[in-house]
């Protein structure tokens, strides 16, 4: 019925648009009706349509996705009508993913958080609307009372994560917190620390070839990555390579859509990717296919690696470990070594293991020993951050107020020297554990660009910790499972309502994001929210916050540009980006000069740095941790969301209306489960109730549930995940190892 309704009589409306009744209304005595009403007189300016139809603005998707698409947003009459990919970016090339096209649904979702709200009783659902002034007052009062009672602000914690990857969002809230004093920060990354460290040990940096260069590859291994879902724009370069004759192999325990599109698919047992890479390396040695010239000129420790392979690794051993037949391992290894150039794209799945960093080092070694590092169409691709050299203003420029007391790191404090204070840093991958043992206690937590309740493991413990806080402030666009526990929620803007600038951790493009519509309801950008806090802090207690108090979001964005960014991207000012996105002027081939950033300046098969951090110097294999329950649980990314974002939108729900656990037919049979049954997935940490889907896309020992946040649904995979950490991550992430979230175990039963 709703769909059948036509618009209001449009010819009448356009007729009326040319008239104004205001004189009639006032002359006729209706002036009194205006008094005390809501609507106000307006100088009649005719219809407010944009002349010539929609106006296009430059935008960028900032949802922490490989693709970080440069977009064009079309606005008419102040309303965002539709979006598309920007053709000026050869990476985006005019397309977006299904999530990207749904952006107007996100902006205009009736579900958005609209006003600052205060919850009366944590988790009760009893919310009061409050003004921004009242919200900021309550927040500042609490901060000042913590400072007064504790003598410092270590009881105030910040969890700002990557839900909104605009550069100012990466910098402003931390800037505010530094401006307040020394505080506690949840740090580390849920994404890539183990593999990131591995690449730092091997190469001295994490840099990848331009993904557009995948088109030049002769052989591609997609290792633990599912770009058909998570980086659709990269798929076209993979297809281009295929059209030129390249073979594409997918290695994944799950038969993903990417796997289905590849020439060959290998499904190793969970957590055995390192053994597979090493088995391949051994076979390459045996065939004499190692590129000895390249390793002699460019690498350190190849003889030791060779010795390790000859003593400890055989193809047969790799076959037993991985479950992949020895002939297959040998054949793939030979093909990889002979194809020039060959490349491996290492996904973020296989390193989320207790042996994940080592697995990445083993794959790096495989690529390096075949002489594919520093080659067009080659490389061990993981990610890059060289395009991210912004100012991170004001985070980088803030100092705590004079006299602030902070955390004293015993490892850094030298006896007899003046006390050195710093922020206290806690690992977000073990947030519940870290909160429980934190001394001094965390009393107040500010969460922004993040939904920890749906993203962090050990959720039941997390909830207990959150419930013990004096105050939880959540800044978000939607009412997530974290917001449910908040005392105060503050509505924040979407990218269409604020200025931003964006780069990817994968491709080399830089795009500006213009504000193209006014913020809906009372949403404010993080820049503005931070300034409001600073202003009020200083009103209540002069000098209590050094953060800016009066800078527009656009000016804040401009301040993040510097000469490095200008030079790298061949621009003279940020304003050049108003013409369209630009690509870094850099060799698309990483390590082409053979100069590495390791201590030796060479590619390091043998890494003293790795040993310094407690790992074997060589990429040796280590088995994953033993099962503590019947099934392995995998919780990868879904096609219809980015972590816990997008899934709540109506267009996504059309495709993906409810959560499921995917279970192999043999396992389902043994548990008397058929598709559509409600089942309980449980372990010693918690449980989830979810509908079963029987599919042989997942192995027999595995249960798969996509990470998600569905609106009005209690489903949460984090209920059954513990906080085990990966082997690596401590080197580049302030001592904080990555999560081992793909190495989890549970059982299942029919409800």
Partner 1 sequence: MQESQHEAQTLASLRDFFIAQDGAELEAAVGRLPEDLKSAVPAVPDWDAAEFDFNRFFVGPRILAAPPYASVYLSPEPQVMGEAALEARRIYAALGLQSPFDARLPDDHLSLELDALRIMQGGLSHTPSEPLKELRDCFVHEHLNVWVPLFARRVRMVAPEHTIIRFMADAVERCVESVAESKGRF
Which of 604, 701, 708, 525 minimizes the C-alpha distance to 132?
525
**Looking at 57, 58, 59, 69, which residue binds ligand SF4 (CB under 6 A)?**
69
138 binds partner 1 (CB under 8 A): no
Q: Which does 61 bind (CB under 5 to 8 A by kind): partner 1, ligand SF4, none?
A: ligand SF4
Provide, rounded to whole angstroms, the least separation between the CB of residue 68 and ligand SF4: 5
Choices 123-131, 276-284, 348-356, 743-751 (CB under 8 A): range interacting with partner 1: 123-131
**Looking at 8, 51, 402, 411, which residue binds partner 1 (CB under 8 A)?**
8
Nearer to partner 1, 123 or 543 (CB): 123
Nearer to ligand SF4, 74 or 466 (CB): 74
**Looking at 120, 420, 611, 674, which residue binds partner 1 (CB under 8 A)?**
120
608: tokens are 């003293």
CB distance 449 to 162 below 8 Å: yes
**Looking at 50, 90, 93, 109, which residue binds partner 1 (CB under 8 A)?**
109
Nearer to partner 1, 48 or 51 (CB): 48
Q: Which does 44 bind (CB under 5 to 8 A by kind): ligand SF4, partner 1, none?
A: partner 1
Q: Which does 293 bind (CB under 5 to 8 A by kind): ligand SF4, partner 1, none?
A: none
Give the integer Cα–Cα distance in Å for 712 and 641.
Answer: 16
**Looking at 59, 65, 299, 356, which residue binds ligand SF4 (CB under 6 A)?**
65
Q: For residues 307-346, which are near partner 1 according to CB under 8 A?
A: none
390 contact partners, CB below 8 Å, separation of at least 6: 167, 170, 171, 501, 560, 561, 562, 565
Give the integer Cα–Cα distance in Å for 121 and 69.
Answer: 41
Give the integer Cα–Cα distance in Å for 59 and 501.
Answer: 9
Neighbours of 548 (CB within 10 A): 22
Nearer to ligand SF4, 98 or 571 (CB): 98
> Quick one: 579 exposed, middle or buried, by C-beta within 10 A (0-12, 13-18, 19+)?
exposed
Q: Which does 678 bind (CB under 5 to 8 A by kind): ligand SF4, partner 1, none?
A: none
Q: Which does 69 bind (CB under 5 to 8 A by kind): partner 1, ligand SF4, none?
A: ligand SF4
225 binds ligand SF4 (CB under 6 A): no
Choices 30-38, 199-207, 558-566, 695-703 (CB under 8 A): range interacting with partner 1: 30-38
Instruction: With residue 176 as reference, give the H or E element that holds it.
Output: helix 172-180
Nearer to partner 1, 493 or 569 (CB): 493
CB distance 462 to 452 below 8 Å: yes
61 binds ligand SF4 (CB under 6 A): yes
| Residue 171, strand partner residues | none
Give the integer Cα–Cα distance in Å for 92 and 252.
Answer: 26
Choices 14-22, 138-146, 148-156, 360-368 (CB under 8 A): range interacting with partner 1: 14-22
23 binds partner 1 (CB under 8 A): yes
523 contact partners, CB below 8 Å, separation of at least 6: 112, 113, 114, 477, 491, 492, 493, 494, 497
106 binds ligand SF4 (CB under 6 A): no
Nearer to ligand SF4, 100 or 166 (CB): 100
Mark 79-98 with x for binding to partner 1 (rule: CB under 8 A) and - for no binding.
x-------------------
67 binds ligand SF4 (CB under 6 A): yes
Give the integer Cα–Cα distance in Å for 671 and 660.
Answer: 16
Q: For residues 658-717, which are near partner 1 according to CB under 8 A?
A: 711-712
Q: For residues 469-528, which are near partner 1 according to CB under 8 A?
A: 479, 483, 489, 491, 517-522
**Looking at 56, 111, 137, 687, which residue binds partner 1 (CB under 8 A)?**
111
Q: For residues 627-686, which are near ligand SF4 according to CB under 6 A?
A: 642
125 binds partner 1 (CB under 8 A): yes
Q: Which does 642 bind (CB under 5 to 8 A by kind): ligand SF4, partner 1, none?
A: ligand SF4
Residue nearest to ligand SF4 (CB): 100
Choices 97-105, 238-246, 304-312, 562-570 (CB under 6 A): range interacting with ligand SF4: 97-105
Which of 72, 79, 76, 32 minimizes the C-alpha distance to 54?
76
**Looking at 58, 99, 381, 624, which residue binds ligand SF4 (CB under 6 A)?**
99
370 contact partners, CB below 8 Å, separation of at least 6: 284, 289, 290, 291, 336, 337, 342
487 binds ligand SF4 (CB under 6 A): no
Give the integer Cα–Cα distance in Å for 459 and 206.
Answer: 31
Q: For residue 304, what are the CA distances in angstroms to 34, 300, 616, 617, 662?
A: 86, 9, 12, 10, 43
CB distance 343 to 217 below 8 Å: yes
635: tokens are 């919780």
Nearer to partner 1, 276 or 449 (CB): 449
Q: For residues 226-285, which are near ligand SF4 according to CB under 6 A?
A: 232
Maximum alpha-carbon separation in the chain: 100
97 binds ligand SF4 (CB under 6 A): yes
Give the integer Cα–Cα distance in Å for 71 and 84.
Answer: 6
Nearer to ligand SF4, 139 or 516 (CB): 516
100 binds ligand SF4 (CB under 6 A): yes
DSSP state string for 129-154: E--HHHHHHHHHHHHHHHHHHHSSST
Give the integer Cα–Cα distance in Å for 199 and 345.
Answer: 13
CB distance 212 to 236 below 8 Å: no
Mark 38-77 with x for binding to partner 1 (rule: CB under 8 A) and - for no binding.
xxxxx-xxxxx----------------------------x
Provide, rounded to whole angstroms, the least separation between the CB of residue 195 and ligand SF4: 20
Q: Which does 520 bind (CB under 5 to 8 A by kind): ligand SF4, partner 1, none?
A: partner 1
63 binds ligand SF4 (CB under 6 A): yes
96 binds ligand SF4 (CB under 6 A): yes
| Residue 444, strand partner residues | 156, 471
- Looking at residue 219, what DSSP letter applies? E
Torsion over CA: 252, 257, 258, 259 (sign): positive
Choices 23-31, 210-218, 227-235, 343-351 (CB under 8 A): range interacting with partner 1: 23-31
Nearer to partner 1, 494 or 607 (CB): 494
Neighbours of 46 (CB within 10 A): 8
212 binds ligand SF4 (CB under 6 A): no
Give the integer Cα–Cα distance in Å for 537 and 535.
Answer: 6
**Looking at 51, 52, 110, 419, which residue binds partner 1 (CB under 8 A)?**
110
> Quick one: 451 exposed, middle or buried, by C-beta within 10 A (0-12, 13-18, 19+)?
buried
402 binds partner 1 (CB under 8 A): no
Q: How many residues bind partner 1 (CB under 8 A)?
A: 72
Length of the chain, in residues: 751
Residue written as token pair 């209706």: 30
Which of 113, 111, 10 minimizes the C-alpha distance to 523?
113
565 binds ligand SF4 (CB under 6 A): no
Give the integer Cα–Cα distance in Å for 609 and 226.
Answer: 31
Choices 92-100, 256-264, 454-462, 476-484 (CB under 6 A): range interacting with ligand SF4: 92-100
Which of 353, 74, 305, 343 minimizes the C-alpha distance to 195?
353
536 binds ligand SF4 (CB under 6 A): no
27 binds partner 1 (CB under 8 A): yes
Q: Cα 723 vs. chain centroid, distance in angstroms? A: 18
Nearer to ligand SF4, 553 or 641 (CB): 641
Binding region for ligand SF4 (CB under 6 A): 61, 63, 65, 67-69, 96-97, 99-100, 232, 642
């Amino acid at each position: 019925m709703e769909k059948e309704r036509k618009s209001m009589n449009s010819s009448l409306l356009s007729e009326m648009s040319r008239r104004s009744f205001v004189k009639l209304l006032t002359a006729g005595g209706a002036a009194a009706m205006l008094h005390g009403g809501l609507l106000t007189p307006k100088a009649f300016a005719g219809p407010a349509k944009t002349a010539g139809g929609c106006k296009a603005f430059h935008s960028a998707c900032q949802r922490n996705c490989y693709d970080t698409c440069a977009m064009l947003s079309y606005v008419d009459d102040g309303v965002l009508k539709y979006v598309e990919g920007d053709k000026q970016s050869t990476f985006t090339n005019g397309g977006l993913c299904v999530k990207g096209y749904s952006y107007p649904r996100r902006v205009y979702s009736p579900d958005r958080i609209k006003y600052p709200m205060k919850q009366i009783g944590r988790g009760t659902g009893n919310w009061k609307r409050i003004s921004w002034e009242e919200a900021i007052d309550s927040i500042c009062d609490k901060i000042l009372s913590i400072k007064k009672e504790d003598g410092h602000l270590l009881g105030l914690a910040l969890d700002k994560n990557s839900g909104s990857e605009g550069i100012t969002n990466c910098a402003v809230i931390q800037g505010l917190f530094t401006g307040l004093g020394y505080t506690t920060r949840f740090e580390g990354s849920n994404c890539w620390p183990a593999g990131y460290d591995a690449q730092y040990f091997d190469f001295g940096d994490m840099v990848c070839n331009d993904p557009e260069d995948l088109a030049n590859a002769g052989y591609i291994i997609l290792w633990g990555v599912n770009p058909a879902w998570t980086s659709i724009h990269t798929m076209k370069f993979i297809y281009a390579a295929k059209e030129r004759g390249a073979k594409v192999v997918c290695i994944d325990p799950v038969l993903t859509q990417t796997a289905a599109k590849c020439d060959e698919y290998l499904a190793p047992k969970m957590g055995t990717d390192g053994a597979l890479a090493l088995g391949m390396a051994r076979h390459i040695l045996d065939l004499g296919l190692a590129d000895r010239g390249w390793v002699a000129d460019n690498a350190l420790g190849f003889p030791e690696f060779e010795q390790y392979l000859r003593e400890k690794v055989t193809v047969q051993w790799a076959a037993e470990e991985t479950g992949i037949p020895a002939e297959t391992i040998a054949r793939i290894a030979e093909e990889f070594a002979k194809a020039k150039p060959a490349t491996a794209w290492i996904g973020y799945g296989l390193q989320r293991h207790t042996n994940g960093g080592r697995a990445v080092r083993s794959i790096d070694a495989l690529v390096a020993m075949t002489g594919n590092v520093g080659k067009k169409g080659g490389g061990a691709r993981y990610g890059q951050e060289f395009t991210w050299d912004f100012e991170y203003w004001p985070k980088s420029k803030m100092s705590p107020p004079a006299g602030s007391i902070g955390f004293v790191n015993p490892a850094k404090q030298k006896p007899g020297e003046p006390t050195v204070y710093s922020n206290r840093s806690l690992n977000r991958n073990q947030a519940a554990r870290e909160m429980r043992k934190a001394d001094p206690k965390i009393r107040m937590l500010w969460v922004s660009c993040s939904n920890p309740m749906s993203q962090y493991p050990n959720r039941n413990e997390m909830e207990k910790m959150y419930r013990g806080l004096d105050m939880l402030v959540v800044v978000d666009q939607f009412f997530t499972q974290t917001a449910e526990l908040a005392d105060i929620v503050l509505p924040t803007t979407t990218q269409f309502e604020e200025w931003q600038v964006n780069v990817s951790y994968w491709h080399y493009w830089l795009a500006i994001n213009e504000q193209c519509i006014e913020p809906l309801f009372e949403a404010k950008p993080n820049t503005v929210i931070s300034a409001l806090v600073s202003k009020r802090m200083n009103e209540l207690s002069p000098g209590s916050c050094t953060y800016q108090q009066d800078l527009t979001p656009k000016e804040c964005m401009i301040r993040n540009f510097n000469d490095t960014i200008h030079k790298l991207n061949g621009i003279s000012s940020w304003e050049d980006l108003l013409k369209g996105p630009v690509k870094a002027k850099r060799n698309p081939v990483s390590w082409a000069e053979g100069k590495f950033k390791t201590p030796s300046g060479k590619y390091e098969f043998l890494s003293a740095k790795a040993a310094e951090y407690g790992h074997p110097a060589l990429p040796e294999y280590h088995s994953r941790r033993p099962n503590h329950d019947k099934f392995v649980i995998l919780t990868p990314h879904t096609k219809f969301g980015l972590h816990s974002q997008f899934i709540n939108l109506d267009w996504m729900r059309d495709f993906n209306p409810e959560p499921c656990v995917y279970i192999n037919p043999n396992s389902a049979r043994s548990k008397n489960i058929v598709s559509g049954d409600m089942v309980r997935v449980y372990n010693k940490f918690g449980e989830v109730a979810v509908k079963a889907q029987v599919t042989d896309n997942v192995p027999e020992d595995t249960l798969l549930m996509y990470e998600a946040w569905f609106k009005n649904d209690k489903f949460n995979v984090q209920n059954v995940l513990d906080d085990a950490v990966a082997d690596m991550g401590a080197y580049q992430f302030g001592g904080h190892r990555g999560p081992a979230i793909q190495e989890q175990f549970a059982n299942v039963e029919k409800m």
